[in-house]
């Protein structure tokens, strides 16, 4: 069986991401509080092996015939009308959220982004305006994916309107939340859009999209810098002090003594802090080796929270060991923490089954629009973010599905009416 080039690119990008995580963690002056490098290496690469192996085996059974690797994937489903709707919805959604935060909840943003975040988290639940705002604002993710997948077919004015939509959806919401989760998700969505839309090697695909990525990614990273600086300002700390304090809370340990970088000290430790915060899921995964008898509430906890909206679940208030400090854990680490060595392998096989559906879509050239595209995005987000954290654990991930499902339903209703 000849595997589609997009499937090969997905596998390559997965290994690249894991490799980059190890490289970035090796260059900052900190490490896991528990030295368990080979244990960590086993968790990560056994997860990759068993999940990818399962996905390819299922693909071989379901689609045994040779398929051309050069067919055009039917995912170019971003009509100008839908992009215009996304443009207006994302902006309207942003201002509805802003109204909910400032008027309804009375949050004062002049005290700083992180201070405003804590006020927001401590405030009473919002109203229908805030909920509607989050739903409408999420349409910017539709624009984000379209910019990459369908960029050649988008008129220049609509292209820049889509970028504005992304700014209000991703950057605007990140500043209102004083958080970084939606920035992280947006960057990985960009990577996914590139890898599933190109019929060339991943290296060439990224090179051809370099100009678009250069225009978008810096704008996505800036809010993370602002939030990081705001965290230091809130605690009246230098970036070096914030780095040392946060590393300890993320189950890492700083080098002793910490290096001094002269006039570049604040800038370097800002970057070091961002790397540590983003990738500390590897530290917590290593730390899980010495934990025993704690409640298994990581792998499926986000799904239980969602299910609790419909059926009351006992002991849902009990969370995992790392939740007390707000630390993340990688997906391979979560599988081991919850289920041990055997469960880690079984869980890897399960996620491989989920990935196999994506491979089947890509291999068979099935028309991928609406709900199917939403499934592809969520599963690939889960895998590409797996060395960092559980992508589906963020509430914002749920909202990503909204515009794709909405337009899928809208198109079907339109066809039936006609």
DSSP annotation of 279 reads H
* Own/partner long-range contacts of 410-417 (Cβ < 8 Å, ≥24 apart): 411/370
Count Cβ atoms below 10 Å from residue 343 Cβ, excluding itself.
16
Rounded CA-CA distance 180/402 in Å is: 20
- pLDDT tens across 97-152, in order? 999 998 888 888 887 888 888 888 787 766 788 889 999 999 999 999 888 887 77
- For 140, 151, 214, the CA distances from 154, given in Å and listed in that order, are 15, 5, 18
Tokens representing 388? 């960092």
Which stretches of the chain score pLDDT less than 70? 1, 64-77, 125-126, 296, 304-320, 365-367, 414-418
- pLDDT tens across 235-253, in order? 888 999 999 999 998 999 9
Select from 353, 258, 339 the least CA-distant residue to 300.
339
Select from 327, 343, 324 the least CA-distant residue to 390.
327
Rounded CA-CA distance 211/200 in Å is: 17
- For 216, 217, 219, 233, 235, the CA distances from 222, given in Å and listed in that order, are 11, 9, 5, 17, 21
- pLDDT tens across 373-390, in order? 889 999 999 999 999 988
b or e along 4-25 (b: 16 or more beta carbons within 10 Å of the residue's beta carbon)? bbbbebbbebbeebbeebeebb
What sign has the CA pseudo-torsion 402, 404, 406, 409? negative
pLDDT recorded at residue 29: 94
Rounded CA-CA distance 50/265 in Å is: 42
Rounded CA-CA distance 73/246 in Å is: 44
**How is the chain split into domains, by residue range?**
5-73+281-417, 80-244
DSSP annotation of 4 reads P
- pLDDT tens across 287-313, in order? 998 887 777 678 877 776 666 556 666
End-to-end Cα, the chain, rounded Å: 42
């Amino acid at each position: 069986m000849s595997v589609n080039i997009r499937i090969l690119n997905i596998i390559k990008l997965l290994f690249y991401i894991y490799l980059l995580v190890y490289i970035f963690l090796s260059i900052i002056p900190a490490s896991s509080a528990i030295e368990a490098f080979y244990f960590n290496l086993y968790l990560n690469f056994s997860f990759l092996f068993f999940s990818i192996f399962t996905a390819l085996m299922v693909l071989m059974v379901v689609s045994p015939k040779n398929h051309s690797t050069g067919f055009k994937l039917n995912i170019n489903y971003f009509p100008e009308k839908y992009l215009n709707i996304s443009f207006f919805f994302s902006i309207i959604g942003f201002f509805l959220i802003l109204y909910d935060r400032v008027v309804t909840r009375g949050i004062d943003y002049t005290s700083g982004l992180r201070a405003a975040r804590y006020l927001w988290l401590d405030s009473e639940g919002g109203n229908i305006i805030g909920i509607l705002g989050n739903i409408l604002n999420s349409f910017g993710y539709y624009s984000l994916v379209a910019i990459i997948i369908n960029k050649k077919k988008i008129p220049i004015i609509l292209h820049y309107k889509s970028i504005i939509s992304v700014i209000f959806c991703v950057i605007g919401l990140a500043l209102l939340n004083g958080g970084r989760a939606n920035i992280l998700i947006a960057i990985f969505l960009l990577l996914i859009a590139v890898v599933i839309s190109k019929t060339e090697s991943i290296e060439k695909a990224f090179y051809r999209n370099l100009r678009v990525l250069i225009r978008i990614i810096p704008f996505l990273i800036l809010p993370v810098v602002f939030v990081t600086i705001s965290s230091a300002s809130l605690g009246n700390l230098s970036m070096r002090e914030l780095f040392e304090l946060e590393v300890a809370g993320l189950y890492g340990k700083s080098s002793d003594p910490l290096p001094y970088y002269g006039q570049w000290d604040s800038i370097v430790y800002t970057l070091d802090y961002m790397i540590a915060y983003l990738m500390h899921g590897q530290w917590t995964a290593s730390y899980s080796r010495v934990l025993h008898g704690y409640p298994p509430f990581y792998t499926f906890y986000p799904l239980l929270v969602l299910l609790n909206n419909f059926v009351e679940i006992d002991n849902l208030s009990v969370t995992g060991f790392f939740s007390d400090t707000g630390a993340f854990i990688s997906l391979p680490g979560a599988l081991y923490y919850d289920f041990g060595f055997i469960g880690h392998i079984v869980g890897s096989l399960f996620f491989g089954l989920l990935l196999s559906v994506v491979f089947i879509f890509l291999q068979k050239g099935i028309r991928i629009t609406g709900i199917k595209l939403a499934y592809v995005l969520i599963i690939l987000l889960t895998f590409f973010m797996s060395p960092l954290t559980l992508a589906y654990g963020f509430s914002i991930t749920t909202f990503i599905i909204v515009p794709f499902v909405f337009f899928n339903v809208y198109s079907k209703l339109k066809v039936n009416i006609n």
